[in-house]
Amino acid sequence: MRWPAVAITGGAGFLGSHLCERFLAEGYNIYCVDNFLTGAVANVEHLMADDRFRLIRADVSQHLTLPDVVDAVLHFASPASPTDYLRLPIDTLRVGSNGTFNALELAKEKGARFVLASTSEAYGDPLVHPQPETYWGNVNPVGPRGVYDEAKRFAEAMTTAFRRACGVDTAILRIFNTFGPRMRPFDGRAIPTFIRQALLGEPITVSGDGTQTRSICYVDDLVEGIFRVLNSDLDGPINLGNPHEISMLALAQWIKELTGSESEIAFVPRPQDDPKIRRPDITLAKARLGWTPKIPIEDGLRHTIAWFQEHPQLWTAGNLARTSS
């Protein structure tokens, strides 16, 4: 019997590597496609002994060809942290435009289901709270975050066009803040930054006054939601995230407590266009997928902190870790 085959772009990244694990466990053949701009071989090295896993070094912004049967294409390639997309603005726009086009062309060629990893950033700095999929957002297209926000919004439009004009079986996910093992310690996102700083005894840097909120979801819960979307007939957009909303100051204090750190909390300037609030309305996911996050946030934080403690070489080597992770 031939098990279904899934191509995952960005498969060697934080989220992509967890998807590769899950789909291998479910019996799928995996094409993990990555150019290692922000991904790392180390994230999927433990999967390479499985003959159903193939790692393909390729830039999805260029033409993408796979020789075998592909039943699904999961397009998860993109710089995803502010540090990355501010450092790589053109690459971010290219993977959202050319990369999405090439991944959709692959799905069209193979007759495969296509799943786009979009983002809660499509809502920008929202004026509606919590954010339902019907909300069009409040995005500054020429602000520093616009390269990521608009790349994803364009990718959603491209995906919708392929569905309507070409009959490709597509789905759009709007993913809210996700955390877990294999996050890059220097990628600029709050949780890995706070954990690294706490473990090193450095000041834990909170932007602004720390009252801005995010809703954080442990990666295993998110992967379950993605798996259900792929195996559904939903086209989306559909929000996937944990409605557990927390301020950045409270999150920093929580991580300080869980790590037993003596770090002080330090306040730094807040980035331009940084959203004030963020929480998903997951009514659609509950009703159509039977999906809600199950893993308590504290358990997820403990798992993530433990992973950092088990891999000190990634966050104690200074500039070496910044360039190699």
Catalytic positions are 148
CA-wise closest residue to 60 among 84, 36, 40:
36
The conformation of residue 43, written as its DSSP 8-state character, comes to: G
Question: Which residues, in sequence order, are bridge partners of residue 55?
Answer: 32
CB atoms within 10 A of CB 316: 13
Report the interhelical angle of 297-310 vs 190-200 (nearest 10°). 60
Q: Which residues contact 106 (CB under 8 A, 6 or more apart)?
A: 7, 64, 65, 66, 70, 73, 112
* Radius of gyration, CA atoms only, the chain: 19
The stretches of the chain forming alpha helices (DSSP H) are 14-25, 82-87, 89-94, 100-110, 146-166, 190-200, 219-230, 248-259, 283-289, 297-310, 319-324
Please state the separation of Cα 296 from the chain's center in Å: 19
